[in-house]
Amino acid sequence: MNRRITVHIEASRPYDIIIGRGILTESGERIRTVLPKVQKIMLVGDDITAGLYGKNVVDSLTEAGFSVVQFIFPQGEANKNITTFAALLEELATAGLTRSDCIVALGGGVVGDLAGFAAACFLRGIDFVQIPTTVLAAVDSSVGGKTAVDLSCGKNLAGAFHQPSLVLCDPDVFATLPHRIFSDGCAEIIKYGFISDPALLEKLSHTDVYKLQAGDAIEEILADCVRDKAVYVTADEQDRGIRQLLNLGHTIGHGVEAASDFAVSHGSAVAIGMHLVTCGAVKKGICPPETLQLLEKLLAAYDLPMVCPFETQTLYSAALSDKKRAGGMITLVLPTAVGQSQLFPMPVEELLPFLELCLSDI
Ligand SMILES: NC(=O)c1ccc[n+]([C@@H]2O[C@H](COP(=O)([O-])OP(=O)(O)OC[C@H]3O[C@@H](n4cnc5c(N)ncnc54)[C@H](O)[C@@H]3O)[C@@H](O)[C@H]2O)c1
Ligand SMILES: [Zn+2]
């Protein structure tokens, strides 16, 4: 029997995240245990995740006695939209799912966000289970209950808080991830370390991205990340206070993504964002230089970029349109020591000089 690590999330709806190699083939029995009344399951995947792992999951679900229908859409952020969302809702209705049935999301953050939002809305809310297949989804998007689709004006502008009933994470599926996508997910892992987990930073310092993708250390590291996220989700489920610490590198990162017209991937943009704010924090004298040195060492070891390809003004305009802005204030997350970060709310006018400081040569 392979090792299983369970992390419990005590959110408004408590649930477990179970991590372990080969757990995909146990999905039927594990869902049956948590949701005994479910008869029909809508398995949602994109063409890649459904193609690679759909059969394994369908076999396991069928064996456990579920009747399974599938919704498969073309991969990519461009399809995390209202059109795909509406098509999924129509399929759920056509297939006759009831309030005691459930949706299973098999994929990365795009699949999880879309399927989760449909679960939040269909019949005013049905159960859903996350089976994350990217590192980013495993450590971040599958946990915490944020679901959304993009609108033409921006990312994640329509969504809901809807916690899953179970998260099943099988690191074996990372073997088929393109290295760039694996590495990108590692930016989120590094983020948890710099927010509040010096022990995780220590572990990450002793490995590199190739060893992590091929080796055994990943399960423990995924568990560390979701335990870290659980603390913030439990304390601030609706993201109005302390949960904002999870945005380390993201306000600027979203700016980099937007300014590049999404040519820079999310993980790479977050890496650049973390580097930029850490430079700023060191220059402001609120963070010791060793923190920046460790961040640079880890970003290099995990094949992640750090140099911002944009000018201050471009970044400023793009960062200002981030939806995390509230009224005239923007809250930045800045590292203050190795494995420690704090929230710094500031009037938006102060963001430009701060960015200038971050990007300056001194
Ligand atoms: N809800 C949240 O809290 C939250 C948090 C962070 C990010 N997100 C969202 O997550 C999304 C990004 O997620 P992502 O990075 O997982 O992207 P993604 O879902 O688009 O996956 C990236 C690519 O990898 C492919 N893929 C997935 N698993 C694979 C596997 N095992 N083997 C081979 N290929 C595989 C996908 O088909 C896709 O082409 C964004 O839409 C973002 O807004 C949500
Ligand atoms: Zn992120």
- The average pLDDT across 49-71 equals 98
Give 270 Cα–ligand 2 centroid separation in angstroms: 7
Task: Report how far ligand 1's centroid is from the alpha carbon of 354 (Å).
Answer: 31
- From atom 10 of ligand 1, which residue's Cα is the shortest distance away? 109
Judged on CB neighbours under 10 Å (0-12, 13-18, 19+), 262 is middle
Grade residue 31 by pLDDT with cuts at 50, 70 and 90.
very high
In 3D space, the residue among 133, 113, 136 whose CA is nearest the CA of residue 57 turns out to be: 133
Q: Tell me the CA–centroid distance for residue 204 and ligand 2, in Å.
A: 18
Q: Is the pLDDT assigned to residue 1 strictly greater than 80?
A: no
Measured from the CB, is residue 268 less than 6 Å from ligand 1?
no
Q: Is 95 in the pocket of ligand 1 (CB under 6 A)?
A: no
- CA separation for the pair 114, 79 (Å, rounded): 9
Q: Which residue from 80, 79, 56 is spatially nearest to 68, judged by alpha carbons? A: 56
CB of 217 closer than 6 angstroms to any ligand 1 atom: no
Pairing mode of beta strands 329-337, 166-169: unpaired
pLDDT at 16 over 90: yes
pLDDT digits (tens, 9 = 90+) for 124-139: 999 999 999 999 999 9
Q: Is the pLDDT of residue 267 over 80?
A: yes
Label residue 306 left, alpha or beta by phi (over 0 means left) and psi (-120 to 50 means alpha). alpha
Q: Is 294 helix (H, G, I), strand (E, B) or coil?
A: helix
Average pLDDT, the chain: 94
Q: Which of 222, 288, 276 is nearest to 248 (CA)?
A: 276
Helices of type H across the chain = 27-34, 47-63, 82-94, 109-121, 135-136, 179-196, 198-205, 209-214, 218-235, 250-259, 266-284, 289-301, 312-320, 351-359
Give the separation between CA 223 and CA 220, rounded to whole angstroms.
5
pTM of the model: 0.95
Q: Is the CB of 130 under 6 A from ligand 1?
A: no
Task: Label residue 237 by pLDDT band (50, 70, 90).
Answer: confident
177 CB near ligand 1 (under 6 Å): yes
Is the CB of 176 inside a 6 Å radius of any atom of ligand 1?
Answer: yes
**SS3 category, 19:** strand
Least confident of 79-93, 152-166, 205-219, 346-360: 205-219
Give the span between the Cα atoms of 254 and 288, in whole angstroms: 25
- Residue bearing tokens 């299973």: 104
Question: 93 alpha carbon to ligand 1 midpoint, in Å?
Answer: 26
